[in-house]
Chain A
């Protein structure tokens, strides 16, 4: 294809120049990881792997453990996924299969708008609208009658794991929705028609056809949504209650890895304190990396399957 003629200095220069920028990008990523690793060394040396399972967060005694934050991040994210996936998949099915054609573009557009809203605005809405509504219309009544279940134990403050989970769910819906729609679109039309022509209802057709083709893809979308939820900072910080303790009740306040960094970074006096926060950042970085890689792997496998016509 490319001719290698003499006097191609300019071509070589171009290749090298763009290559240099590519190297810069690679360098930045490596630098990021190196900075995180170096700054978390003091904490790593002091606490070791126990850091991940220790529950104390005591700046006075310089004893730090990431357990409450890991717990909070995982619980709020899983809760978000639990709420968001059924809704997103259901909405995707509706848009792709049942909605009249004129509805498709506006609805996709609206879903994309949701994705463009900055996190801090979700947080603002969370504090003043979502939390009071959840508190007065859901948490207080539920705690009154079902407060004996550990999951719903009071007292009810408002800012809580539940509030964070619900807000996160709203935030990740657009991503799961768009991937789900793409996944649903890969189902061969022939198969759908085959089921329908055999006398199946639309729902039965969907159940069979989606069950056969789309589960891995939807699973991939779920993991993708999870990855986004894990790293959310501002919205979570504003509604989770900032309590560094791993509590079972969803109505109680909690904390997340990103939120504790946001709240305490500027004032972490002493090397161990700051280093512990950076170490939490490193743990978060690793977690989101692992989850995103898993999502990508699943989705590329799905695309490969689809193109092979399975």
Chain B
């Protein structure tokens, strides 16, 4: 009995010491949101914290919906989303918010099929048909016709989508809405939609997990997830009629057009971009910060980080298959960062 009391007291004392010692912890900045850029952000925050021991960025990948919700409620210092906030949702905010673009990514269809190589050819209508539940078997004539060189298996198509509010979903459904009338009428675009078929995975991680675990499955994830998990990626016919595989170059090609037409608030869509090499389901991802920061130290740290992210951080993107922001966009973002202030004083 006494021994147990002794052990408990000892553990309590240790924890008390640890807690007090950690009162001198570096500044923690909390962010949450999109899973789309999570492979990139987690690398960024890891490297940045190593280089700047005075700050730590704790990012929780809970989905774009979560990012928007938590920054609206003020429970995090910054949010992250690949679905730009709507006018309506911005009205609910306690203050003006900035969408700071950080990278470009590609949403890609991934599938798990034995005996079928990577690069399965899909058209926009076939892709829509699969996710609408109208094309239900892998050896459907529409699929076989596009892929004559492959023997398509006679198996059920198992659809996987997001169960949480997702910017990746927003980009994907935006694309389907743009290219397919039936999808536009029946389902529409949004971070969370009424999916006609399929099972839900939580986050990009969850969808990738489901596809990997389920033979015959097809889903949509950000390119980095497909690459990191060595998953089979489909090729898609783009606006110009070319079948493109999602690569860094294809995403950058989609981004090239953006530089000229980038609006001041950076809320722009890249789906079905023109250009022979362009990947049709590309998207920007943003970090959400309030113009008026409540905490000077944290606000300054965030601005410093963002300055780093749009320049030095961009160099890490290629390795993870995210496309860098075009130069003119970087300059525009840099100017926007000057707007972030504390009590009127710019934190730049």
A interface list, Cβ under 8 A from B = 56-60, 127, 131-132, 154-159, 241-243, 253, 263-264, 266-270
Docked pose: A165 CA to B165 CA in angstroms: 27
| CB <8 Å contact, A56 and B200 | no
Known contacts A158-B214, A243-B199, A269-B165; decide if A60 and B65 are in contact (CB<8 Å).
Answer: no
| CB <8 Å contact, B217 and A157 | yes
| CB <8 Å contact, A267 and B69 | yes
Chain B residues positioned under 8 Å from A132 (CB to CB): 213
Min CB distance A205 to B, Å, is 45
| CB <8 Å contact, B194 and A242 | no
Chain B residues positioned under 8 Å from A253 (CB to CB): 199-200
Known contacts A242-B163, A267-B63; decide if A57 and B194 are in contact (CB<8 Å).
Answer: yes
Chain B residues positioned under 8 Å from A266 (CB to CB): 32, 62-63, 66, 69-70
Known contacts A158-B214, A268-B69, A269-B72; decide if A58 and B165 are in contact (CB<8 Å).
Answer: no
- 3 closest A-B pairs by beta carbon, nearest first, are A267-B65, A242-B200, A155-B156
Chain B residues positioned under 8 Å from A60 (CB to CB): 188, 190, 192-194
Min CB distance B268 to A, Å, is 21
Which among B194, B202, B214 is the interface contact of A263 at CB below 8 angstroms? B202
Of chain B, the residue at the smallest CB distance from A61 is B194
| CB <8 Å contact, B164 and A263 | yes
| CB <8 Å contact, B164 and A264 | yes
Docked pose: A56 CA to B65 CA in angstroms: 19
Docked pose: A253 CA to B198 CA in angstroms: 8
Chain B residues positioned under 8 Å from A263 (CB to CB): 163-164, 200, 202
| CB <8 Å contact, A159 and B199 | yes
Docked pose: A130 CA to B157 CA in angstroms: 22
| CB <8 Å contact, A243 and B164 | no
Min CB distance A203 to B, Å, is 44
Of chain B, the residue at the smallest CB distance from A252 is B199
Docked pose: A157 CA to B159 CA in angstroms: 9
Q: Can you give 20 A-B contacts (C-beta < 8 A)?
A: A58-B193, A59-B65, A59-B191, A60-B190, A127-B213, A155-B216, A156-B156, A157-B158, A243-B199, A263-B202, A264-B164, A266-B62, A266-B66, A266-B70, A267-B65, A267-B67, A267-B164, A269-B65, A269-B68, A269-B89
Min CB distance B315 to A, Å, is 31
Given A57-B194, A264-B165, A268-B65, 16 other A-B contacts at CB below 8 A?
A59-B65, A59-B165, A132-B213, A155-B157, A158-B214, A242-B200, A243-B199, A243-B200, A253-B200, A263-B163, A263-B164, A263-B202, A267-B65, A267-B68, A267-B164, A270-B92
Chain B residues positioned under 8 Å from A268 (CB to CB): 65, 69, 165
Chain B residues positioned under 8 Å from A241 (CB to CB): 199-200
Task: Sort chain B's interface into a size bin.
Answer: 35 or more
Docked pose: A269 CA to B216 CA in angstroms: 33
| CB <8 Å contact, A242 and B213 | no
Chain B residues positioned under 8 Å from A57 (CB to CB): 194
Min CB distance B207 to A, Å, is 11
B201 lies within 8 A of chain A by Cβ: yes
B interface list, Cβ under 8 A from A = 32, 62-70, 72, 89, 92, 136, 156-158, 163-165, 188, 190-194, 198-202, 210, 213-214, 216-217
Docked pose: A270 CA to B54 CA in angstroms: 35
Chain B residues positioned under 8 Å from A270 (CB to CB): 89, 92
* Residue in A158, A241, A263, A267 whose Cβ sees the most chain B Cβ within 10 Å: A267
| CB <8 Å contact, A59 and B192 | yes
Of chain B, the residue at the smallest CB distance from A240 is B199
Docked pose: A264 CA to B166 CA in angstroms: 11
Min CB distance B257 to A, Å, is 28
| CB <8 Å contact, B199 and A157 | yes
Docked pose: A253 CA to B217 CA in angstroms: 14
Chain A residues positioned under 8 Å from B202 (CB to CB): 242, 263
Min CB distance B288 to A, Å, is 13
Chain A residues positioned under 8 Å from B68 (CB to CB): 267, 269
Docked pose: A241 CA to B158 CA in angstroms: 12
Min CB distance B239 to A, Å, is 26
| CB <8 Å contact, B156 and A267 | no
Docked pose: A127 CA to B201 CA in angstroms: 12
Of chain B, the residue at the smallest CB distance from A159 is B199
Min CB distance A161 to B, Å, is 12
Min CB distance A251 to B, Å, is 11
Docked pose: A57 CA to B190 CA in angstroms: 14
Docked pose: A155 CA to B218 CA in angstroms: 13
Docked pose: A241 CA to B161 CA in angstroms: 11
Of chain B, the residue at the smallest CB distance from A264 is B164
Docked pose: A154 CA to B155 CA in angstroms: 11
Known contacts A60-B188, A60-B192; decide if A243 and B65 are in contact (CB<8 Å).
Answer: no
Chain B residues positioned under 8 Å from A267 (CB to CB): 62-69, 164-165
| CB <8 Å contact, A56 and B194 | yes
Of chain A, the residue at the smallest CB distance from B86 is A269
Docked pose: A270 CA to B85 CA in angstroms: 12
Chain A residues positioned under 8 Å from B66 (CB to CB): 266-267
Docked pose: A135 CA to B197 CA in angstroms: 19
| CB <8 Å contact, B213 and A158 | yes
Min CB distance A101 to B, Å, is 30
Docked pose: A156 CA to B199 CA in angstroms: 11
Min CB distance B59 to A, Å, is 14
Of chain B, the residue at the smallest CB distance from A56 is B194
Chain A residues positioned under 8 Å from B190 (CB to CB): 59-60
Docked pose: A267 CA to B61 CA in angstroms: 11
Docked pose: A288 CA to B112 CA in angstroms: 40
Docked pose: A225 CA to B191 CA in angstroms: 38
Docked pose: A209 CA to B32 CA in angstroms: 61
Docked pose: A90 CA to B156 CA in angstroms: 39
Chain A residues positioned under 8 Å from B157 (CB to CB): 155
Docked pose: A242 CA to B195 CA in angstroms: 11
Of chain A, the residue at the smallest CB distance from B210 is A159
| CB <8 Å contact, B214 and A242 | no
Min CB distance B118 to A, Å, is 22
Known contacts A60-B188, A156-B156, A242-B201; decide if A269 and B163 are in contact (CB<8 Å).
Answer: no
